[in-house]
C-alpha cells in the first residue's frame, strides 16, 4: 500500500464525508435546539434530490440548471419542514420523546408516499453540466469533478453555520435555547419562533444534502434509508446537538470507509460501524460535548 493510494482514498472519503456532514448538521441542529429526533430528515433529503432533478429537467441543458436546482431544493424542503413544524410539531413539544419520534416517523411514511405519488417508482439521473462531467486526477486517483464541488460546499456550509450560531442574534438565542430553553423563555424571548427557525434551517440542510448528491447517484425511493441510519450514528458519535461533533463524526465515517477499502476491501463495509462502536465504548456520550 503506497502513500499516494492512501492520500487518494482520503480525498475520496473526504468528499463523501461532506455530504454526510451537511445532512447530519441539520439533524444535530434540530436535536440540539428542539430536542426532537427527526426521523423524517432522510425523507427530506430524498425529497431534495427529487426536487433538484425536477428543476434541472425543467431548465434543460442550460448549465445554470444545476445551480438553480441546488438553490431550489433546500428552499422547498425548508418550506415543507416549516409548515409541518408550525402546524403540527409545535403542538407536541411538551409531550415526551416517544410521541415526538412517533410523530416524525409518521411524517416519514407520509412523505415517502408523497414522493412515490409525485415521481413514481422509477429512479432518476441528474446529469451535471458538461463542465462538471468526468473526473480529474488528484494524487493519482480519478476523482469525479463534481466531488470537488462537494469538497468546497462542505466547508462553506460549516462556515455559514458557525457564522450563524456565533455571529447572529438568532443563532445565539438558538444556542442558548439548546442549553436552557426555560431560562431563555423567562428572559422574554419568543422561543417558539427560534424553534421554528432552527427546524426550518435543519430541513434546509437535509434538502441541500439531497440536491448535492443528486448528480452523483441514482435518485430513487429508499435512498433515504441508509443515509438516515448513518447520520443518526454520526450525530450520536459526534455528541448530540453538537455541530462540530457532526463534522467529526462525518469525517470519521467517510474516511474509515474509503481508507478501510485499502486495508481490507472485502469487509470495508463494516469499518465505519466498527469505529463508531469503538468510539462509543470509550466515550459513551460522543466525541464532543453533547447539548443534552
**Residues that bind another protein in the complex, under the rule CB under 8 A:** 5, 8-9, 12-13, 15-16, 19, 116, 121-125, 127, 133-135, 140-144, 146-147, 213, 216-218, 220-223, 225-227, 257-258, 261-262, 265-266, 268-269
Provide the b/e sequence for 194-211 (b: ≥16 CB within 10 Å).
bbbbbbbbbbbbbbbbbb
Nearer to another protein, 86 or 124 (CB): 124
Nearer to another protein, 48 or 241 (CB): 48
Smallest distance, Å, CB 164 to another protein?
27
Smallest distance, Å, CB 239 to another protein?
25
Nearer to another protein, 132 or 185 (CB): 132
Whether residue 242 contacts residue 158, with contact meaning beta carbons closer than 8 Å, is answered with: no
Whether residue 24 contacts residue 236, with contact meaning beta carbons closer than 8 Å, is answered with: no
CA-angle at 19, arms to 165 and 107, nearest 5°: 80
Nearer to another protein, 106 or 140 (CB): 140
Tell me how far apart the alpha carbons of residues 172 and 136 are, in angstroms, rounded to a whole number.
41
Smallest distance, Å, CB 110 to another protein?
15
Spatial CA neighbour of 157 closest among 5, 44, 17: 17
Smallest distance, Å, CB 128 to another protein?
9
Amino acid at each position: 500500500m503506497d502513500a499516494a493510494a492512501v492520500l487518494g482514498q482520503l480525498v475520496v472519503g473526504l468528499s463523501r464525508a461532506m455530504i454526510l456532514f451537511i445532512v447530519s448538521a441539520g439533524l444535530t441542529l434540530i436535536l440540539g435546539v428542539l430536542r426532537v429526533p427527526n426521523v423524517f430528515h432522510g425523507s427530506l433529503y430524498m425529497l431534495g434530490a427529487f426536487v433538484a432533478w425536477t428543476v434541472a429537467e425543467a431548465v434543460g441543458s442550460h448549465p445554470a440548471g444545476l445551480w438553480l436546482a441546488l438553490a431550489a431544493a433546500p428552499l422547498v424542503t425548508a418550506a415543507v419542514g416549516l409548515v409541518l413544524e408550525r402546524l403540527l410539531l409545535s403542538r407536541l413539544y411538551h409531550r415526551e420523546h416517544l410521541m415526538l419520534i412517533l410523530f416524525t416517523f409518521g411524517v416519514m411514511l407520509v412523505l415517502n408516499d408523497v414522493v412515490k405519488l409525485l415521481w413514481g417508482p422509477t429512479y432518476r439521473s441528474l446529469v451535471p453540466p458538461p463542465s462538471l462531467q468526468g473526473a480529474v486526477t488528484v494524487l493519482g486517483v480519478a476523482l469525479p469533478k463534481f466531488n470537488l464541488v462537494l469538497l468546497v460546499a462542505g466547508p462553506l456550509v460549516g462556515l455559514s453555520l458557525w457564522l450563524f450560531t456565533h455571529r447572529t442574534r438568532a443563532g445565539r438565542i438558538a444556542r442558548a435555547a439548546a442549553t436552557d430553553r426555560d431560562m431563555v423563555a423567562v428572559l422574554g424571548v419568543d422561543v417558539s419562533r427560534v424553534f421554528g427557525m432552527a427546524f426550518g434551517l435543519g430541513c434546509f440542510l437535509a434538502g441541500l444534502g439531497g440536491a448535492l448528491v443528486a448528480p452523483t447517484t441514482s435518485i430513487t425511493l429508499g435512498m433515504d434509508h441508509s443515509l438516515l441510519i448513518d447520520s443518526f450514528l454520526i450525530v450520536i458519535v459526534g455528541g448530540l446537538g453538537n455541530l462540530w461533533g457532526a463534522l467529526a463524526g462525518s469525517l470519521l465515517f467517510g474516511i474509515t470507509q474509503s481508507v478501510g477499502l485499502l486495508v481490507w476491501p472485502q469487509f470495508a463495509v463494516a469499518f465505519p460501524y466498527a469505529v463508531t462502536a469503538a468510539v462509543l465504548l470509550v466515550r459513551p456520550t460522543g466525541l464532543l460535548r453533547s447539548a443534552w
